[in-house]
């Protein structure tokens, strides 16, 4: 901690606290300092010291930073800078004051409450909006990047107290000229949030992000992930073969229009699934707004502040832990 603090202080970042840590890295809250008493709260992501000298980890970290540098969208956490000092790479990122979706869901579980149906659909629609942008992104030469996030899940969805919803952590994403690992040999992602393609070691495309987004939607609605098992391999088998329920029987206020969206997102055959995040976004927004006024950032923000008893939004961040190296 002292060494990291010293490094950040050298480059005008004032250490505040550790936010999250994972198998490969650590995220800190910091204040970026500048002239005229300039101070900006940011998140600083670093490779763990024991991995910082390993070329493979450096390459992955640099690859992630280069990928997300031009992903500038209201529903994606922005990356401002990639730096290096004394051999230590660090990434400066947008700081989101709020909670991640996992914490949001845990708060509901602890109080035995269900998330309102319209807010559940709204949260997922904002993630679909961010994915639409990422999936369609081209590089500066006009080449389609073919981005696949591959790690859609509650930890990687941040929710601000002002009601903004942002997708984060492209650490195991694949894209043109960027592959975290070789598909076909290693599974990238968390076992209970995989697409069938990921669970079966197949090569993925953007449609692989939509199945886990469907899982996230059902988890928000039901308060649990129906595919999760204590046995990781059983979670994968559930994703591949467990019968998909009719969700209205599990929660009666899920109406037929939303049921149809869920069922389409959870098609195991990707040719029958939503063919793009834009298509899923369209259906969610038609569901939310075709009858008139629907949920907004402001409504979600008020709900968040009430749920977590926050009077004035403070810079309390909830970035996800960094991904662990995938296991075979």
Q: Which residues are annotated as catalytic?
A: 151
Close Cβ partners of 186 (under 8 Å, ≥ 6 residues apart): 326, 327, 328
DSSP state of 223: S
Q: How far apart are CA 125 and CA 96, in angstroms?
A: 19
Contact between 245 and 300 under an 8 Å Cβ cutoff? The reply is no
Sequential DSSP letters for 158-199: EEETTS-EEE---TT-BBTTB-SS-TTTS--S-GGG--HHHH
* Total residues found in the chain within this entry: 328
Q: How far apart are CA 75 and CA 71, in angstroms?
A: 10
Q: How far apart are CA 188 and CA 180, in angstroms?
A: 8
Close Cβ partners of 241 (under 8 Å, ≥ 6 residues apart): none
């Amino acid at each position: 901690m002292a060494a990291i603090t010293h490094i950040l202080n050298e480059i005008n970042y004032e250490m505040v606290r550790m936010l999250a840590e994972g198998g490969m890295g650590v995220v800190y809250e910091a204040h970026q300092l500048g002239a005229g008493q300039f101070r900006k709260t940011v998140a600083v992501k670093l490779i763990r010291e024991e991995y910082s000298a390993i070329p493979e980890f450096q390459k992955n970290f640099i690859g992630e930073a280069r990928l997300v540098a031009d992903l500038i969208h209201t529903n994606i956490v922005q990356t401002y800078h990639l730096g290096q000092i004394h051999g230590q790479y660090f990434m400066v990122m947008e700081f989101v004051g709020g909670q991640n979706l996992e914490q949001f869901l845990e708060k509901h579980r602890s109080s035995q409450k269900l998330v309102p149906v319209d807010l559940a659909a709204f949260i997922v629609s904002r993630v679909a909006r961010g994915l639409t942008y990422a999936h369609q992104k081209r590089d500066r030469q006009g080449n389609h990047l073919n981005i696949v996030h591959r790690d859609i899940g509650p930890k990687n969805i941040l929710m601000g107290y002002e009601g903004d919803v942002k997708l984060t952590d492209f650490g195991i994403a694949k894209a043109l000229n960027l592959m975290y690992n070789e598909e076909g040999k290693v599974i990238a992602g968390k076992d209970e949030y995989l697409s069938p393609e990921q669970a079966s070691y197949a090569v993925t495309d953007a449609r692989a992000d939509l199945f886990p987004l469907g899982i996230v939607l059902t988890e928000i609605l039901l308060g649990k992930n129906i595919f999760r098992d204590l046995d990781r391999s059983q979670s994968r088998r559930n994703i591949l073969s467990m019968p998909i329920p009719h969700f209205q029987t599990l929660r009666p206020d899920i109406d037929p229009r939303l049921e149809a969206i869920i069922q389409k997102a959870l098609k195991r055959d990707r040719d029958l699934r939503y063919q793009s995040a834009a298509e899923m976004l369209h259906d969610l927004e038609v569901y939310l707004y075709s009858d008139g006024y629907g949920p907004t950032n402001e409504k979600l923000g008020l709900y968040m502040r009430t749920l977590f008893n926050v009077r004035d939004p403070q810079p309390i961040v909830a970035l996800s832990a960094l991904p662990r190296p995938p296991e075979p």
